[in-house]
Amino acid sequence: MIIAANWKMNKTILEVNQFLDEFVSLVGENKHNKIIIAPSFVFLQKVIKFARKKNIKVFAQNCHQFASGAFTGEVSASMLSSIGVNGVILGHGERKAMGETCDMVNQKLKMAICYNLEVILCTGESENNRAEKEIEFQIKTSLKDINTDEKICIAYEPLWAIGSNKSASCENIYLKVKFIRDICKKMGFFNTKILYGGSVNLKNYVRILNIPKIDGILVGGASLKSKDFAEISSFNSSLH
Ligand code: PGA
């Protein structure tokens, strides 16, 4: 399973250090899952140093759509790649709320691929009754002109479930994962990994990870506490 932590704009350096110290002693061997941590840009190198010892992947939460240039305050895919970042989360609902479009996500995705960064591409509806239309549009636009040999990982994150304590139902997640996989297959992407994100917590992660054909979860709020994220990261499908 893929278990990814999206820390968003949280933690100071002291809190990052404390998390890493505690997580290292709690998480054990990490044999079953691919664990990803996506801290703020400023803590990437700190987390990378720690992650090497534990076989954990480190992702950024965004990158710019151009390679370099006069874009004050932005961070490029080449910069991320040059410090050993493994991948990047793209198209998160919170970024779309700040004006990021699917065309921009498509450009960012191409840039990420160009610099060998793995991608978790987020998709999710704002309204229940338009869910399939919105998701299909987002995926088709974001994956436009991307080589179908690329390994794509998509996180289904309905906007109303993010940070709301109202996770989507397992049935809904199952149907959307299937829907997303079908769109990807029609576009020629046959090896897509599909995650769910949106109010995943200690109470529901086992249920969600047991949904057939799901490949993992993207965890926001519940990934901020080392103890909680260590427990979630230790998920073992043969035991649960
Ligand atoms: P949440 O965030 O788990 O706090 O809902 C998930 C996400 O936004 O990736």
User: How far does residue 226's CA lie from ligand 1's centre (Å)?
Assistant: 16
The pLDDT of residue 29 is above 80 = no
pLDDT over threshold 80, residue 30? no
Q: 135: Cβ below 6 Å to ligand 1?
A: no
Model confidence band, residue 207 (pLDDT cutoffs 50, 70, 90):
very high
What is the tens place of the pLDDT at every residue in 118-167? Answer: 999 999 999 888 999 999 999 999 999 999 999 899 999 999 999 999 99
> How much is the mean pLDDT over the chain?
96
Query: The tokens 């974001």 sit on which residue?
Result: 142
- Tell me the CA–centroid distance for residue 43 and ligand 1, in Å: 19
Known catalytic residue at 92: yes
Beta strands, E only, 70-167 = 87-90, 118-123, 153-156
Nearest alpha carbon, ligand 1 atom 3: 220
Q: Relative to the CA of 122, which ligand 1 atom is closest?
A: 9
Collapsing DSSP states into helix, strand and coil, what is residue 19? helix
Å from CA of 49 to ligand 1 middle: 25
Q: Nearest Cα to 48, choosing from 12, 87, 14, 74? A: 87
Q: Is residue 133 classed as helix, strand or coil in its secondary structure?
A: helix
* Integer Cα distance of 201 and 221 in angstroms: 8
Q: Is 6 in the pocket of ligand 1 (CB under 6 A)?
A: yes
Those residues whose C-beta lies under 8 Å from the C-beta of residue 225, and which sit 6 or more positions away, are none
Q: Rounded to an integer, what distance in angstroms lies between the CA atom of residue 139 and that of residue 131?
A: 12
Q: Which atom of ligand 1 is nearest to the CA of 6?
A: 9
Ligand 1 atom closest to the Cα of residue 163 is 5
For residues 199 and 166, the answer to whether their CB atoms sit within 8 Å is yes
- What is the tally of structural domains in the chain? 1
pLDDT at 146: 98
**Is the distance from the beta carbon of residue 157 to the nearest atom of ligand 1 less than 6 Å?**
yes
Helix (H, G, I), strand (E, B) or coil at 84: coil
Q: Which of 92, 94, 100, 118 is catalytic?
A: 92
68 with 45: CB under 8 angstroms? no
| Overall pTM > 0.85 | yes
Separation of 198 CA from ligand 1 center, angstroms?
5
Tokens of 227: 């103890």
**Which pLDDT score is estimated for 202?**
97
Contacts of 47 (CB under 8 A, 6+ apart): 16, 20, 37, 39, 58
Write out pLDDT tens, residues 44-92: 999 999 998 788 999 999 999 999 999 999 999 999 999 999 999 999 9
Please state, in angstroms and rounded to a whole number, the distance separating the CA atoms of residues 180 and 173: 10
Interval between CA 69 and ligand 1 midpoint (Å) = 32
CATH of the domain at 214: 3.20.20.70
171 is catalytic: no
Domain of residue 35: give its range. 2-239
